[in-house]
Protein backbone atom coordinates (compact mmCIF):
# COMPACT_ATOMS: atom_id res chain seq x y z
CA UNK A 1 0.00 0.00 0.00
CA UNK A 2 1.31 3.43 -0.91
CA UNK A 3 2.08 5.92 1.83
CA UNK A 4 0.63 9.36 1.96
CA UNK A 5 2.70 12.24 3.26
CA UNK A 6 0.43 14.92 4.65
CA UNK A 7 1.83 15.42 8.15
CA UNK A 8 5.24 15.85 9.70
CA UNK A 9 4.70 12.52 11.46
CA UNK A 10 4.37 10.78 8.09
CA UNK A 11 7.77 12.08 6.97
CA UNK A 12 9.32 11.29 10.34
CA UNK A 13 8.05 7.71 10.32
CA UNK A 14 9.44 7.22 6.81
CA UNK A 15 12.76 8.76 7.89
CA UNK A 16 13.05 6.30 10.76
CA UNK A 17 12.19 3.41 8.43
CA UNK A 18 14.92 4.51 6.02
CA UNK A 19 17.44 4.87 8.84
CA UNK A 20 16.56 1.39 10.10
CA UNK A 21 17.01 -0.06 6.63
CA UNK A 22 20.47 1.49 6.19
CA UNK A 23 19.53 4.45 4.00
CA UNK A 24 20.88 7.42 6.00
CA UNK A 25 20.83 9.90 3.12
CA UNK A 26 17.18 9.32 2.35
CA UNK A 27 16.44 9.34 6.08
CA UNK A 28 18.06 12.77 6.41
CA UNK A 29 16.07 14.19 3.47
CA UNK A 30 12.80 12.86 4.89
CA UNK A 31 13.69 14.24 8.32
CA UNK A 32 14.29 17.66 6.77
CA UNK A 33 10.83 17.50 5.21
CA UNK A 34 9.36 16.51 8.58
CA UNK A 35 11.10 19.46 10.20
CA UNK A 36 9.81 21.79 7.48
CA UNK A 37 6.25 20.63 8.19
CA UNK A 38 6.67 21.23 11.93
CA UNK A 39 5.47 24.65 13.13
CA UNK A 40 7.45 24.56 16.39
CA UNK A 41 11.10 25.59 15.75
CA UNK A 42 12.36 23.67 18.78
CA UNK A 43 10.67 20.48 17.62
CA UNK A 44 12.02 21.01 14.10
CA UNK A 45 15.53 21.34 15.53
CA UNK A 46 15.05 18.16 17.56
CA UNK A 47 13.98 16.27 14.43
CA UNK A 48 17.04 17.47 12.50
CA UNK A 49 19.31 16.53 15.42
CA UNK A 50 17.88 12.99 15.44
CA UNK A 51 19.23 12.55 11.90
CA UNK A 52 22.70 14.12 11.93
CA UNK A 53 24.55 15.27 8.88
CA UNK A 54 24.58 18.23 6.62
CA UNK A 55 21.68 19.08 4.41
CA UNK A 56 21.82 17.47 0.99
CA UNK A 57 19.14 19.63 -0.51
CA UNK A 58 19.90 21.62 -3.59
CA UNK A 59 18.21 24.96 -3.11
CA UNK A 60 17.68 27.13 -6.15
The predicted-structure confidence for 10-20, as pLDDT tens digits, reads as follows: 999 999 999 99
CA-to-CA separations, 40 to 20, 37, 45, 50, 59, in angstroms, rounded: 26, 9, 9, 16, 22
Q: For 29-50, what is the mean pLDDT?
A: 95
Centroid of chain to Cα 9: 9
Local structure of 29: helix, strand or coil: helix
pLDDT at 45: 94
Q: What pTM was estimated for this model as a whole?
A: 0.85
- Can you give the pLDDT at residue 12? 96
Count of domains in the chain? 1
User: Distances in Å between the alpha carbon of 41 and those of 14, 18, 22, 34, 44?
Assistant: 20, 24, 28, 12, 5
**Domain range for 16:** 8-51
19 occurs within a structural domain: yes
Q: What is the pLDDT averaged over residues 5-26?
A: 94
Average pLDDT, the chain: 90
- The answer to whether residue 2 sits within a structural domain is no
Q: Is residue 34 part of a domain?
A: yes
Amino acid sequence: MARTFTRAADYLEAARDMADSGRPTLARLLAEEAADHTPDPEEAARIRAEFPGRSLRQEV
